Amino acid sequence: MLGTEPRPTELTDKWWITVEAPDRAPRSDGNIGKWLVFVPVRYIDRYWEIIRQAVRDGTLGPAAKVATARPNPRQTDPTRRVIAVYTVDWTDEDDVQRVLGALRSLGVTWRITYKTDADTTNSIYGRHAATYISQSGSLQFASRKQRPTRMG
């Protein structure tokens, strides 16, 4: 049970419910990214409870957020809601891998994608937004975008 905390399926006055890990605040240096876990609406409260607790326990990244029942014009599938599970640095593939493994151990077994916050800020959504993709049941991920090259 979520206790006194709002359930994603019941909250309509905010877009997101957010949780942060104690002592692991996200950095704001432009390298933040997130695994996007799309969950059928009928299971969103259950998965949010599991992921929220894992963030608080420090086994995932520094934060996570879940889409609420508030109608969203960017939503493409009304039968699903997203839980974004953040990592500090999308270029730190070891940490991206660690969080993926933790999500798999929590029961997220289906295909998930990873996206940078910079792409979200630049309104890049849909098919071409994924930086990484992990296929169903896999503990591995594939890069979908070339990394920027450093000049100098």
Q: What is the pLDDT of residues 74-126, one digit of tens each?
A: 788 889 999 999 999 999 999 999 999 999 999 999 999 999 988 887 877 87
The pLDDT of residue 150 is above 50? no
Q: Please, what's the largest Cα pairwise distance for the chain?
A: 54
Q: What is the pLDDT of residues 100-112, one digit of tens each?
A: 999 999 999 999 9
Beta carbons of 21 and 63 less than 8 angstroms apart: yes
Q: What is the CATH number of domain 16-143?
A: 3.30.760.10
The dihedral over CA atoms of 107, 111, 114, 120, expressed in degrees to the nearest 10, equals -110
Q: Where are the domains of the chain?
A: 16-143
With cut-offs at 50, 70 and 90, classify the pLDDT of residue 148.
Answer: very low
The pLDDT of residue 133 is above 90? yes
The Cβ of residue 136 has, within 10 Å, a number of other Cβ atoms equal to 8
